[in-house]
Structure 1
C-alpha cells in the first residue's frame, strides 16, 4: 500500500523515473531543475544504475542517444537554454526512432532570461525545436502528482512509438512541494520487444544499426512518410485534455500547467459575479486537443481566452482549433511574472462587456 509523501517537484521527477525503471540519467545542472540531477546522483548509483553529469547539454543528449540505442530506458533533464542546446540531438533521436524521456522545467527567456517560472518554450517543444519534419509527444502537468503519473506514462509512450517524449513544467512546478503518492502501476499498453536495439547480435545473423542518415532522397522520403504515419497515430491515440465547467459557458479559458490552476480560481471569482466560465486544460501540448474545441465551439457565448506565462504562443493553436468560428482572446505575463486571478478577471470583464 502506497503512502503520500511531501516532495519537491524536481525530486519527485527523479523518483518517478526510477520507479519507471529508468536505467541511465545524463544531464547538466541548470536552474530551476538542478535538483533532478542531484536526486539522481544520490539514488541511481545505489541501485546499480547509471548517473553521469556530462560536460555540456550537447554531450548529455548524445549520451542519451547512445543509451537509447541499446534499448534501455534513459532520460535527461534541463531548462530552457539547455533544451535549446539539446535540440539537434532531439531531432536525431526522433529521426532514428529512439525512445527516451526529456524533462524541461521552463525558466524565463529569451537568452539567459531569469530563473523564474515561464511557459515560453511552447513553440520550441511543440513545433519541433530541432530541424526536420518531426514531432514528439509533450506532456504539461498541472501538479506534482500529475507530473509523477505522466513521467511513468511518458516512458511507456516512448517505448510504444519509438520516440523521444517531453514532460514540460514551469519552474514553479519544479520548485514547489506537494504531497505525492507513488502508486503501484502496471501498464495496459502492449509494449513492443526492442528487437531493433544495438546491443550485440543476440542470436541474430547481423548487428542492428541505429541511424538517421539516408543519402538517397527516395529512401529518406519513405522514412519521413513512415514517421508522419506514426505521428498521425499519436494524434489519434495520445491526445489528452481536461474540460472543466465548459458546458454552456459564457467564456472558456485555455491554460496548462500552473496557469490552469490559477484559472480555476478565476472561475470561482466569476461565478460570484454571475458569469459562467469554463476551462480547457491541454495535458498534451502536442498532440494539441483540437477535439476539446470542436465539442464546445457552438455553445460558448463570447469565445475563448488563452491564458499563458508567455507572450501568446499557445494562442496560435487555439485559433487554429477554433477555425474562426468564435473569437479568441489572449492574456499573458512573461519573463517570470505569474498571472494573478484579479488581472485575468479584469480581462474577462473586458471581453464580456462588464469592465
Structure 2
C-alpha cells in the first residue's frame, strides 16, 4: 500500500472522509485550522457538506442535529473551542448519538498560546459538561496511529451510540509523516432505526432527546448508560507496554510525549539501565490493567506530561500504592527534552526522589 506524506491535520481530514464522514461543522482556531480547511476543500467533492458555524457552540449543536439524523459527522477544535462545546457534548452523550470530536490541544488556561500541550486531560477524561456521562478518548502518538484511530472512531461511535474524542497536542496537528489509509476492523453496527430520517409513512416518528422530567426515568436512563460505559471499558481499553516487567523505573506517557520518553529510554539503555514504558492509547477508559506488569523490582513510576500533572491522578489509582509515583512535566507550550527525562529517571533509580 502506498504511503503519502501528509501534515497531521490534513491526514485527520482524509481519514475521516475515507471512513465515510460526510458532514463537518467547525470554527477556526490554531493549531487545528488545516483540518477544517481540508474538509472545506475536499468534502464537497465527495458529496459531503462543510459548514463554518458562527461559533463553537453552534458547531457542536449542528453536530447534534446531523448525528440525530443518522449522518456520519465530525467536528474539531483546539482547547478553548472544545471548552465551548462541552455542553453540546453532554447533550449528545445523553441523547446517545454517535459523532467524532477532534481536539488538537494548545497551551492554556484561557486563550493561553498556540504551542502544543496536554493540559486538556481533565477536560477530555472527566468531561466539562454536566451530568454522569463518558466518552472514549483516543490519544495517538504518531500521524499513522492518528489516521487509524480516526477511521475506527466513527465505527466505535456508531457501535456504542456515543461520542468519541481523538486528542492530540499541537505537534500531532502540525508535523508531517508518511501515512497509509488501511481499512479498520469490521464492527457490529446495528441499523440506525433510532435516527430522525423521516418516517416515510411506515413508522412512528423517532424522538432524539436528553430530557427526562420524571426522576425515576432519568435514573433508569443514566444507569443504562453506565452499563454501556462498562462495555466500553471491557472492550475498548488500549495501551502499549515496553519492558515493564523487567524495569527498575517505569515511565508513563501518552501522545507525542511518549515518543520523547522512548528516546530517553534509549539513552538509559545505552548506560545499562532498565526502564519501561506504559503508554495509554485510550485516556478513557484508562488502562489500569497495564500496571499489573510492574514487579517488585521496580523502584518507582514516573509520569511525564506536557501539563502540570493531570494524568498522575489516574496513574496513582492504577498503581494503587504499590510503588511511589513521581511527576515531571513542562507546560505552557514547552516540550520535555530526553535529557531532562533521563535525569528524572536516574534520580528515581538512585533513590533521590
Q: Verify same fold: TM over 0.5.
A: yes
Is residue 318 of structure 2 the alignment partner of residue 321 of structure 1? Answer: yes
Q: Tell me the distance in 1 between the aligned counterparts of 2:266 and 2:185.
A: 36
Given that residues 246 and 295 in structure 2 are in contact (C-alpha distance below 8 angstroms), is that contact kept between their aligned partners in structure 1? no
Equivalent in the alignment of 1:205: 203
Equivalent in the alignment of 2:149: 150
| 2:219 pairs with one of 221, 229, 235 | 221
Q: Tell me the distance in 2 between the aligned counterparts of 1:277 and 1:351.
A: 11
Equivalent in the alignment of 1:103: 102
1:44 deviates by 0.6
Task: Provide, for residues 252-274 of structure 1, a one-character-per-residue CA deviation record: whole Å limited to 9, x for no partner.
Answer: 10000000000111111111222
Equivalent in the alignment of 1:305: 302
Equivalent in the alignment of 1:164: 163
1:248 deviates by 1.2
1:46 deviates by 1.3
Given that residues 297 and 325 in structure 1 are in contact (C-alpha distance below 8 angstroms), is that contact kept between their aligned partners in structure 2? no
User: Which residues in structure 2 correspond to 1:208-287 (within 5 Å)?
Assistant: 208-287=206-285
1:54 deviates by 0.3
Decide whether aligned partners of structure 1 residues 36 and 247 sit closer, same or farther in structure 2, where only a CA change above 3 A counts: same
Given that residues 148 and 184 in structure 2 are in contact (C-alpha distance below 8 angstroms), is that contact kept between their aligned partners in structure 1? no
1:23 deviates by 1.1
Decide whether aligned partners of structure 1 residues 199 and 28 sit closer, same or farther in structure 2, where only a CA change above 3 A counts: same
Say which SS state the counterpart of residue 306 (structure 1) adopts. strand
Is residue 70 of structure 2 the alignment partner of residue 59 of structure 1? Answer: no
Q: Tell me the distance in 2 between the aligned counterparts of 1:120 and 1:162.
A: 27
Is residue 326 of structure 2 the alignment partner of residue 332 of structure 1? Answer: no
Q: Tell me the distance in 2 between the aligned counterparts of 1:17 and 1:202.
A: 30
1:246 deviates by 1.3
Task: Provide, for residues 131-175 of structure 1, a one-character-per-residue CA deviation record: whole Å limited to 9, x for no partner.
Answer: 110110000000000000000111111000000000000000100
| 2:347 pairs with one of 341, 345, 350 | 350
1:204 deviates by 3.5
Q: How many residues end up aligned between the 2 structures?
A: 352
User: Mean Cα displacement is larger for which, 256-265 or 194-203?
Assistant: 194-203
Q: Report runs of 4+ in structure 1 exceeding 6 Å deviation.
A: none
1:354 deviates by 7.5
Q: Tell me the distance in 2 between the aligned counterparts of 1:202 and 1:162.
A: 23
User: Which residues in structure 2 correspond to 1:29-178 (within 5 Å)?
Assistant: 29-178=28-177
Is residue 26 of structure 2 the alignment partner of residue 23 of structure 1? Answer: no
Given that residues 41 and 51 in structure 1 are in contact (C-alpha distance below 8 angstroms), is that contact kept between their aligned partners in structure 2? yes
Q: Tell me the distance in 2 between the aligned counterparts of 1:138 and 1:131.
A: 17
Q: Tell me the distance in 1 between the aligned counterparts of 2:8 and 2:235.
A: 28
Given that residues 115 and 336 in structure 1 are in contact (C-alpha distance below 8 angstroms), is that contact kept between their aligned partners in structure 2? yes
Given that residues 117 and 307 in structure 2 are in contact (C-alpha distance below 8 angstroms), is that contact kept between their aligned partners in structure 1? yes
Given that residues 27 and 53 in structure 1 are in contact (C-alpha distance below 8 angstroms), is that contact kept between their aligned partners in structure 2? yes
Decide whether aligned partners of structure 1 residues 120 and 300 sit closer, same or farther in structure 2, where only a CA change above 3 A counts: farther
* Gaps in structure 2 of 5+ consecutive residues: none
Q: Tell me the distance in 2 between the aligned counterparts of 1:12 and 1:300.
A: 42
Say which SS state the counterpart of residue 108 (structure 2) adopts. coil
Say which SS state the counterpart of residue 262 (structure 1) adopts. helix
Task: Provide, for residues 103-158 of structure 1, a one-character-per-residue CA deviation record: whole Å limited to 9, x for no partner.
Answer: 00000000100000000000000011211101100000000000000001111110
Q: Tell me the distance in 2 between the aligned counterparts of 1:287 and 1:354.
A: 32
1:307 deviates by 0.4
1:339 deviates by 0.3
TM-score, scaled relative to structure 1? 0.97
1:306 deviates by 0.5
Say which SS state the counterpart of residue 65 (structure 1) adopts. helix
Say which SS state the counterpart of residue 104 (structure 1) adopts. strand
Say which SS state the counterpart of residue 61 (structure 2) adopts. helix
Q: Tell me the distance in 1 between the aligned counterparts of 2:49 and 2:185.
A: 24
Q: Tell me the distance in 2 between the aligned counterparts of 1:104 and 1:25.
A: 14
